[in-house]
């Protein structure tokens, strides 16, 4: 089914589909999950980690809790000791939506954001976006400006995840790293999403993963979906 040797597979997940199965989901977690976290971990993060384990397990033919997830030196989550092939993974979630991306060939980062009005967006834009991006933002009607703000932000955050460069790189104004390639993933209205990679993105396949009954570890459905309008960004 899925063999992302030269492409990226992106799983688009409405989390509300999985909330009724929270207990079964958390049984997919490993004791090592969040063991380094100094703060409380939200249920949403636990569910997304469990789904990540389930999805990676499909590639590696392992039980979810057997999947070996580690953080590399830069803090980026990786699949260690994959028995099938090297795998890169990245996750993002907001409100009811989660994206999990998997690749066998490149470092990847994904981000999804809900487009909402926030205080101080202008100040944030001036701080983190380039002058050209700010000029573009100010030329737009407020509703379009808001969406574009999040589009730029998604690219920035996805890029930071590719290189494990964290928040530090988010604060640098140069958004478009020459080594980074971006692909916009069309999401339901009110959301924007982007996947980034350190290699040219030849192919992005999108899937939905849905629970079929209470035995979510065994009984779920993965279905290829079309996200019409999804496209690679022009380099700039």
**Cβ neighbours of residue 39 under 8 Å, at least 6 residues apart?**
none
Q: Is 1 in the site for other proteins (CB under 8 A)?
A: no
Strand-pair partners of 100: 11, 91
Distance in Å, CB of 49 to other proteins, minimum: 13
Toward other proteins, which CB reaches closer, 113 or 184? 113
Q: Is 157 in the site for other proteins (CB under 8 A)?
A: yes
Quick note: the x/- pattern for other proteins over 53-92, rule CB under 8 A, is: ----------------------------------------
Concatenated DSSP letters of 67-96: S-EEE-TTS-EEETT-SSS--EEEEEEETT
Residue among 167, 218, 223, 236 that touches other proteins (CB under 8 A): 167
Strand-pair partners of 77: 71
**49 close to 29: Cβ distance less than 8 angstroms:** yes
Toward other proteins, which CB reaches closer, 83 or 166? 166
Toward other proteins, which CB reaches closer, 38 or 61? 38
Toward other proteins, which CB reaches closer, 143 or 200? 143
Residue among 44, 82, 134, 165 that touches other proteins (CB under 8 A): 44
Cα gap 156→12, rounded to integer Å: 20
The span from the first CA to the last CA of the chain, in angstroms, equals: 34
DSSP 63: -
Q: Is 39 in the site for other proteins (CB under 8 A)?
A: yes
Cα gap 45→77, rounded to integer Å: 14
Q: Is 20 in the site for other proteins (CB under 8 A)?
A: no
Closest CA relative to residue 10, chosen from 131, 161, 168, 185 = 185
**216 close to 21: Cβ distance less than 8 angstroms:** yes
Distance in Å, CB of 30 to other proteins, minimum: 20
Q: Is 188 in the site for other proteins (CB under 8 A)?
A: no
Distance of CA 54 to the CA centre of its chain: 15
Q: Is 96 in the site for other proteins (CB under 8 A)?
A: no
Toward other proteins, which CB reaches closer, 81 or 167? 167
Residue among 65, 95, 198, 205 that touches other proteins (CB under 8 A): 95
Q: What residues line the site for other proteins (CB under 8 A)?
A: 39-42, 44, 94-95, 113, 118-121, 123-124, 127-128, 153, 157, 166-168, 170-171
């Amino acid at each position: 089914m899925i063999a992302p040797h030269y492409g990226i597979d992106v799983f688009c997940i409405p989390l509300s589909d999985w909330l009724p199965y929270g207990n079964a989901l958390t049984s997919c977690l490993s004791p090592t999950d969040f063991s380094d976290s100094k703060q409380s971990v939200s249920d949403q993060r636990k569910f997304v980690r469990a789904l990540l384990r389930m999805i990676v397990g499909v590639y590696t033919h392992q039980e979810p809790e057997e999947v070996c997830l580690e953080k590399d030196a830069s803090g980026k989550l990786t699949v260690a000791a994959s028995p099938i092939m090297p795998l890169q993974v990245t996750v993002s979630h907001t409100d009811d939506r989660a994206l999990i991306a998997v690749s066998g060939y490149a470092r990847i980062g994904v981000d999804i954001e809900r487009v909402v009005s926030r205080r101080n967006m202008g100040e944030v834009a001036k701080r983190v976006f380039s002058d050209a991006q700010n000029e573009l933002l100010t030329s737009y009607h407020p509703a379009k400006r808001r969406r574009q703000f999040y589009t730029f932000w998604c690219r920035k955050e996805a890029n930071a995840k590719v290189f494990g460069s964290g928040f530090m790189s988010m604060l640098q104004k140069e958004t478009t790293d020459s080594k980074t390639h971006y692909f916009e993933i069309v999401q339901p209205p009110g959301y924007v999403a982007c996947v980034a990679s350190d290699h040219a993105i030849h192919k992005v396949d999108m899937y939905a993963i849905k629970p079929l009954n209470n035995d979510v570890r065994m009984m779920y459905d993965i279905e290829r979906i079309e996200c019409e309008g999804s496209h690679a960004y022009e380099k700039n």
